[in-house]
Amino acid sequence: MRSATQDRQAGRIVTVVLPALAAAVLTLLLQGCTSKADTQAAAPLPQVSIAAALERNVQEWDEFTGRLEAVESVEVRPRVTGYIDSVNFAEGSVVKKGDLLFVIDQRPYRAELAKAEAELARAVARAELSTTDVTRSEKLLGVKAVSREEYDQRINAQREALANVEAARAAVTTTKLNLEFTRVTAPISGRVSRAVVTAGNLVTGGSTQATLLTTVVSIDPIYVTFEGDEQVYLKYTELARRGDRPSSRDAANPVLMALANEQGFPHKGAMTFVDNQVDSRTGTIRARASFDNKDGYLTPGLFARVKLLGHNSHPAVLVDDRAVGTDQSQKFVYVVDSDNKVAYRSVKVGRLTDGLRIVQEGLEPGENVIVNGLQRVHPGVVVAPEKVAMDARLNEDAMLASAATKL
């Protein structure tokens, strides 16, 4: 067992050690806080580029995608049946209306025409004889040499003979048409496709099952057909109702167009058609614009990008598209005030125009927004801004190099 003296000595040790230990711990804590504060004070401010929001008069354009279509497109089919005698065009060439494309064997139709003309001559001869009989009967009837019944019979025979003449003439006309139809010509001017049927093949004509020979599509002008959704249609309707923009049903509103390999929108055209209803299955409405194509560069079926005038000139706030961030479905910008403090600003944006984004709501002209470095800041933080022009195309690496030089 421990003695009382040993217990008193242990108590004295605890009394001395505990205060010393507490003092040491307190000293370490104070040193840690001081080191953390010094580190925070020494941390550099985030480097960002800011630019003042611009205000300019802009014309808004809505963009769509569509396809080029020929104004006229014809499937060439024969009107008569027969064997192809010759193909008289170069496949893929440009033809004019009336140019000869195919010839069907004409010999059977020439024979039919000769037969019809002979039948016409026979009918004419019979009609002349019946006319002579009627003239003679009129004289005999006056002297009571023929009966009234016989006279009437000769009158009816004359009428029948004259009707036969007209029928024979119609048959001649039909056979002449059939002979003419053996020469298959281009129904429109344009570019012809390949010959589906070559010489020596039998083709069927004159019905819904007529053989397809080739196709011809017109070249100049050419259509671009595209579709817009309900919101776009309602916007245009409202603009027309207010008088801000005429309806494309009533006016040839300007349209710009580009092919898949073209930069910008080099082709200029005009609206020619807007459909009479919105497709309930897709929620879109079909529209069409017309473009000149004198050089034949535009070909039906090509993909096209289309810009349609959406609004007349009006003032708008513009920012670099990189200044706009996305917070789930919400668009925002970071505004830097006079104290270089960052503030979150929710905005409603429109389309791009001349490389800048239209801000419809949430931002005033002249306010400084961060255009480079959004990922390094958050609302409330103080930054080290570098002022740049809003329409300048900044380079991230160059900005970082500049910041490193300053440090």
C-alpha 78, offset from chain centre: 35
**CA nearest 344: which of 359, 336, 334?**
334
Same domain, 318 and 395: yes
Predicted pLDDT of residue 29: 53
Is 213 domain-assigned? yes
Same domain, 234 and 357: no
* Cα(222)–Cα(292) distance, integer angstroms: 6
* Cα(320)–Cα(349) distance, integer angstroms: 11
Is 12 domain-assigned? no
Low-confidence ranges of the chain (pLDDT < 70): 1-42, 141, 143, 311-312, 391-407
* Domain final position from 312, 332, 363: 312
Task: Specify the length of the chain in residues.
Answer: 407
* Domain final position from 249, 282, 312: 312
Predicted pLDDT of residue 274: 93
Same domain, 209 and 228: no
Residue whose token pair is 């209803």 = 277
pLDDT digits (tens, 9 = 90+) for 133-174: 778 777 776 767 777 778 778 888 888 889 999 999 999 999
Same domain, 156 and 204: no
pLDDT digits (tens, 9 = 90+) for 326-336: 888 889 999 99
Whole-angstrom CA distances from 130 to 125, 341, 381 are 9, 115, 116
Predicted pLDDT of residue 389: 85
Tokens coding 306: 């289309």
Q: What is the dihedral of CA 119, 121, 123, 128, to 10 degrees?
A: -170
Indicate yes or no: pTM above 0.85: no
Count of C-beta atoms within a 10 Å radius of residue 180: 13
pLDDT digits (tens, 9 = 90+) for 103-123: 999 999 999 999 999 999 999
Same domain, 138 and 95: no
Predicted pLDDT of residue 117: 94
Same domain, 305 and 364: no
Tokens coding 78: 């024969």
Q: What is the CATH number of the domain that holds 259?
A: 2.40.30.170
DSSP string, 190-249: EEE---SS-TT-EE--SSTTPPP-EEEE--SSEEEEEEEEHHHHHHHHHHHHHTSS--TT
Predicted pLDDT of residue 225: 95
pLDDT digits (tens, 9 = 90+) for 318-374: 898 888 988 888 899 999 998 889 999 999 988 777 778 889 888 989 899 999 888
Average pLDDT, the chain: 83
Is 29 domain-assigned? no
Task: Give the three-state DSSP class for 321.
Answer: helix
Is 329 domain-assigned? yes
Same domain, 206 and 80: yes
Q: Which domain holds residue 124?
A: 106-181
**CA nearest 83: which of 151, 182, 194, 7?**
182
Is 284 domain-assigned? yes
Q: What is the CATH number of the domain that holds 171?
A: 1.10.287.470
Is 25 domain-assigned? no
Predicted pLDDT of residue 20: 52
Tokens coding 255: 């349209």
Is 36 domain-assigned? no
Q: What is the CATH number of the domain that holds 387?
A: 2.40.420.20
Element (H, E) at 76: strand 73-76
**CA nearest 45: which of 405, 376, 387, 389?**
376
Number of domains in the chain: 4
* Cα(382)–Cα(39) distance, integer angstroms: 17
Predicted pLDDT of residue 332: 93
Same domain, 80 and 208: yes
* Domain final position from 195, 217, 239: 217
Predicted pLDDT of residue 73: 94
Same domain, 364 and 292: no
Whole-angstrom CA distances from 217 to 137, 259, 291, 296 are 64, 19, 15, 11
Same domain, 81 and 198: yes
Is 271 domain-assigned? yes
Same domain, 323 and 397: yes
Same domain, 155 and 237: no
Q: What is the CATH number of the domain that holds 86?
A: 2.40.50.100
